[in-house]
Amino acid sequence: MKTLNVGLIGMGTVGTGVAKILLEKDSPLLEKLDCVPVLKGIADSNPDVKTRLDLPPHILFTTDAKTLISNPDIQVVVELIGGLHPAKEIITIALEKGKDVVTANKMLLALHGSELFGKAREHGKSISFEASVGGGIPIIAALRDGFIANKIEAIFGIVNGTTNYILTKMTKENVKYQDALAEAQRLGYAEKDPTMDVEGIDSSHKLAILARIGFGLDFDFKNIYREGISDVDLSDIGYAHELGYTLKLLAIAKKTENHIELRVHPALLPHDHPLSSVNGVFNAICISGSAVGETMLYGRGAGQMPTASAVVADLVDVALGRAGITFKAMKAFSGHCEHVPIADLQQFKTRYYVRFSVVDKPGVLAKISGILGKCEISIASVIQHKAKENGSVPLVMMTHLAEEGNLQKALTEIKQLDIIKDHTKFLRVEE
Ligand code: HSE
């Protein structure tokens, strides 16, 4: 049996999962393949890891990643330390030393993907990153291989389990944002500092990776529109629910003739949309392709073994020589793919849910709808609820399709009216 020697850098949750799979005695890899990845060495800055893992004696262990990368017996380096530095340097050195690379590092790829892919090509090596998006869901393989015959028109979905857990808790149990976040932290789904997840940063990294592979285009990551869930109000989830919609944090990539839209924000989906029933920490990604039509992939977007499953799939691709062939052939990895502008927020065209807090007296609706009409926003439905203690009344509207620039213009004008008692909230609707 042929083998591929693996050097694993970073023995956190996922690294430990990868080691478990590679060290399994009755590994499914041995049953299915005649060329398998074999764990040769491990690097982790914490020396206690060696004892914790109870490693077989033939596995090398070092606290210095560079020692492992420099070992001529190692053929592929798995980077699982995360963050930008020293992960970027480790990957760069590994490529320079002629090793293929497997990584789960979405932030690094979103921010420095072009540069690293260029480096890999320069050295005739590959970078594989199935575990960077969607955990155990083979979404990268699907976009790269399975849907290759398609012009990809849209990629959108739930790519962050932490925020989906929080929103599910708010929706199903009527729990306020802060309490749902605290519960997610208690269960280990959210970090102590949850910013990356709740502000949509993690989702924007994943969106950048999906869009690059799906569309084969390059763009400025910093121009991706991003809005998280920390401002989501329980009352809006409730009103939207009454109107037939479920609130989710979506990562959305759409391609038209002239531009691409890349955005991460909370959005309302009709209850019967398949993404509306993706609950808890699960992820799901919908792909719209010119030949295949609508598809959806669903599964665990994080966690030790699902993510390890994706890393090992990449290792098998390297072992079988597939990673190298694909990497050489795909323009998305070339550093020469077309660089396109990301559409401006003002150009987004969706339907909107808008909640005004108004005084309850005759003529209020007429004033608001007058301004909306002037700005070419057409109202689809209106609901009004009972007055709150401070005398303000929530007035909720659903609009027809409209440009966001027009909505912003209308809301700025409406804000000046003396009938407006509080902030106006709006949410985008995806059908
Ligand atoms: N923090 C991520 C999530 C998991 O909640 O989905 C790793 O990508």
Mutate-to-test residue for ligand 1 from 197, 201, 282, highest number of ligand atoms within 8 A of CB: 197
Domain count, the chain: 3
Are 281 and 391 in a shared domain? Answer: no
Q: Are residues 220 and 360 in the same domain?
A: no
Query: What's the gap in Å between 401 CA and the centre of ligand 1?
Result: 32
Residue 339: inside a domain, yes or no? no
CA distance 137 to 159: 10
Whose CA is closest to atom 2 on ligand 1?
A: 160
Is pLDDT above 90 for 431? Answer: no
Atom of ligand 1 nearest to the CA of 189: 5
The minimum-distance atom of ligand 1 relative to the CA of 163 is: 5
pLDDT tier for residue 164 given thresholds of 50, 70 and 90: very high
Domain harbouring 213, CATH code: 3.30.360.10
Q: Find the mean pLDDT for residues 399-406.
A: 98
Ligand 1 center from residue 416 Cα (angstroms): 41
CA distances in angstroms from 49 to 13, 45, 98, 282, listed in the order given: 12, 9, 27, 30
What is the C-alpha separation between 287 and 11, in angstroms, rounded? Answer: 33
Counting from 1 in the atom list of ligand 1, the atom nearest the Cα of 206 is 8
Percent of the chain having pLDDT more than 90? 92
More confident residue, 50 or 112: 112
| pLDDT single digits (tens) 277-300 | 999 999 999 999 999 999 999 999
- Of 99, 106, 125, 206, the catalytic one is 206
Average pLDDT, the chain: 96
Question: What distance separates the 2 farthest-apart alpha carbons in the chain?
Answer: 82
Query: Lowest mean pLDDT: which of 249-263, 285-299, 309-323?
Result: 249-263
**Same domain (yes/no): 156, 112:** no
Between the CA of 188 and the centroid of ligand 1 the distance, in Å, is: 11
Decide if 162 is inside a domain.
Answer: yes
Give the CATH number of the domain where residue 61 resides. Answer: 3.40.50.720
Instruction: Specify whether 186 is located in the same domain as 318.
Output: no
pLDDT at 259: 85
Q: Which atom of ligand 1 is nearest to the CA of 132?
A: 8
With a threshold of 0.85, does the pTM exceed it?
Answer: yes
Say if 338 falls within a structural domain.
no
Q: How many angstroms does the Cα of residue 13 sit away from the middle of ligand 1?
A: 13
Q: Are residues 104 and 157 in the same domain?
A: no
DSSP letters spanning 230-265: TT--HHHHHHHHHTTEEEEEEEEEEE-SS-EEEEEE
Pocket test for ligand 1, best of 13, 81, 162, 249 (most atoms within 8 A of CB): 162
CA 162 to centroid of ligand 1, rounded, Å: 6
| 200 to 227, 252, 264, 315, 320: CA distances (angstroms) | 6, 12, 6, 29, 36
Whether 292 and 329 share a structural domain: no
- How far apart are the C-alpha atoms of 232 and 168, rounded to whole Å? 12
- Give 9 Cα–ligand 1 centroid separation in angstroms: 20
Tell whether 58 and 94 lie within a shared domain: yes
53 and 157 share a domain? no
Is the bond into 86 cis (omega within 30 degrees of 0)?
yes
Residues 205 and 256 in one domain: yes
Q: What is the pLDDT of residues 192-213, one digit of tens each?
A: 999 999 999 999 999 999 999 9
Q: Are β-strands 293-300 and 282-289 bridged in parallel, bridged antiparallel, or unpaired?
A: antiparallel
Same-domain status, 177 and 241:
yes
Which residues line ligand 1 at a C-beta cut-off of 6 Å? 160-162, 197, 202, 301-302
| CA 222 to the chain's CA centroid | 15
pLDDT interval class at 101 (50, 70, 90): very high
pLDDT recorded at residue 127: 98
Closest CA to 207 of 257, 274, 142, 160: 160
For a mutational test of ligand 1's pocket, the pick from 137, 202, 229, 248, i.e. the residue with the most ligand atoms closer than 8 A to its C-beta, is: 202
Domain that holds residue 401: 345-429
Q: Check whether residue 88 and residue 163 sit in a common domain.
A: no
- Which residue's CA lies nearest to atom 8 of ligand 1? 302
Distance CA 243, CA 238 (A): 9
Residues 147 and 279 both lie in one domain:
yes
Average pLDDT for 87-105? 98
Residue 192 among the catalytic residues: no
Task: Look at residue 389 in the predicted model and tell me its pLDDT.
Answer: 64
Taking the CA atoms of 279, 111, 290 and 343 in sequence, report the sign of the dihedral they define.
positive
User: From the centroid of its chain, how far is CA 347?
Assistant: 23
Strands laid side by side in the 76-79 sheet: 60-62, 35-43, 2-9, 76-79, 100-103, 127-128
pLDDT of residue 357: 95
Written as one letter, the residue type at 350 is T
For residue 270, give every residue at least 6 positions away whose Cβ sits within 8 Å of its Cβ, in sequence order, or none. Answer: 244, 245, 246, 276, 431
Determine, yes or no, domain membership for 161.
yes
Compare 320 and 431 and report the one with higher pLDDT.
320
Specify the residue with its C-alpha closest to ligand 1, atom 7. Answer: 302
Residue nearest to atom 4 of ligand 1 (CA): 302
